[in-house]
Structure 1
Amino acid sequence: MPSVDSNSYVHENAQAPPPPPQAPQHFGFGAPQGYAFQYSQCTGRRKALLIGINYFGQRGQLRGCINDVRNMSSYLVENFGYKREDMVILTDDQQNPMSQPTKQNILRAMHWLVKEARSNDSLFFHYSGHGGQTKDLDGDEEDGFDEVIYPVDFRQVGHITDDEMHRIMVRPLQSGVRLTAIFDSCHSGTALDLPYIYSTQGILKEPNLAKEAGQGLLGVISAYSQGDLSGVANNIMGFFKKATGGEDAHARAVATKTSPADVIMLSGSKDDQTSFVLPFPYLTYYLHIT
């Protein structure tokens, strides 16, 4: 665990974890052996982008997102050696137009976060706000939907897709750069389009296409039994889509979205789930074990 006064891993007590290995690492059992990533030693520069949107005066207004950002900012400064001057904070309670979480400002800040990142740097991204899904257009989603986040002005300029966030914040990273991302939003399980998903036991999770297709078939039967013909049609389409397209989508994601950098993402919900409010210590618990 890095100390407040140093950007490196230090052994302040017997419980401190050892430094990460310096050799290239594979993604674990089940991942293609031709792909590898490099851990960051966290000895370089630290930068953070924190976004919290309460959507004041809008339908679906939230209450705790700005407070999440304030807590996360303090947590990073007090425990991980981040400096305020190396943070960009976008919240919709600020008067400065450049600090508003508009789509333009968010995209600009994402580019800033990864600009000139080098091996052993530590980058941190936090988003707290509304999330959703939209139709996948490039065939890399097993369920047929891209995950999105909603800027404060999304009703005027639209959302930001996981494809775009991956292109800006993950694809440019070289081997040995650490990016830790937290999405506290609905439908955020794969919000960065990282192709490898791990269980809480550290086991690489592979898509269970047979199970998913079977669930779709149960949906067909359920809709038919209730006389819902439109539901039958929709569930049949989903059944064939999962049975035939999921494997191709997963292979495409692995081939196009695997990064040599040290990228970790924690989400508040699966792609098909909505979020509920969690106390801040829940997030700190997961940060301590990564």
Structure 2
Amino acid sequence: MGMTLPGGNPADQTLVIYNGVSPNYLETVGTSLLAGRTLRDNDENQILVNKATLDAFEIPLNKAIGSKIIQTYEGEVDEFEIVGVTADYNFASLKEEVKPILLYNENTPGWIILKAETQNYEALLNTLESSWKTINPNTPFVFNFVDKEVEKLYAEEKRLGKISVVFTSLAILISCLGLFGLVSFVAEQKKKEIGIRKVLGASVQNMVRLLTKDFIRLVGIAFIIAAPLAYFIMQNWLQDFPYRINIEWWVFLIAGGAALIITLLTVSFQAIKAAIANPVKSLRTE
């Protein structure tokens, strides 16, 4: 509904979401009060508002209790008194900023929110359905779990996460196979060089370092290219969320370290195999 402060211009209204609740609603959903009290059974024009409502009307928190806001509709004016202020809470997707909302005392609700401390949901639902049919036999008993409803808000993000995991795993697997084949090819190309170096006293560690240094350099170049690109893509995705995390530098450091470890594990197996081979066989004239 569109609302204004007393004496304000009726044409210049602030949109406020309204929701009918019962007095113990805040306790049930776990929302805290910043000031004032909760609703009472005899409240009619008394309301609760969130901090975003105060900000929208530029009402200081210390002057909020007792303040009034009005609704003008088709010449009729309804005045509401603020008796409590709740902390801002997300009642919609995290892709939306917390908007002004007011809670009023609803005497004839069309829905019920229930919090129950039980693991036996089947027995609970059977009891609720029985009670529901006793009170309102002509209306079907339809229920939803709040956590499942919240999950629906982020179905796209969950699907994107699963797709990312699958394709990342495939990319790592293909990269490892390619690395393994490439280091095998390089080892074969440098077979005689490795044999000569071993005859001259080079250690296995030196041989492994000889075969892996170029691959480590390539991983470093890939990291320098990929890190800024990944940061840009993630920042662009996070722009959809008014409330979001900051991407820390150490995340990229861990990713780069993981890529380096995977590369070393993949390359080292074939490199060590080539380094410990009999140099006589490597130098034998074919």
Mark the structure with the bigger radius of gyration: 2
Query: What's the TM-score once normalised by structure 1's chain length?
Result: 0.20
Query: What's the TM-score once normalised by structure 2's chain length?
Result: 0.20
Higher helix proportion: 2
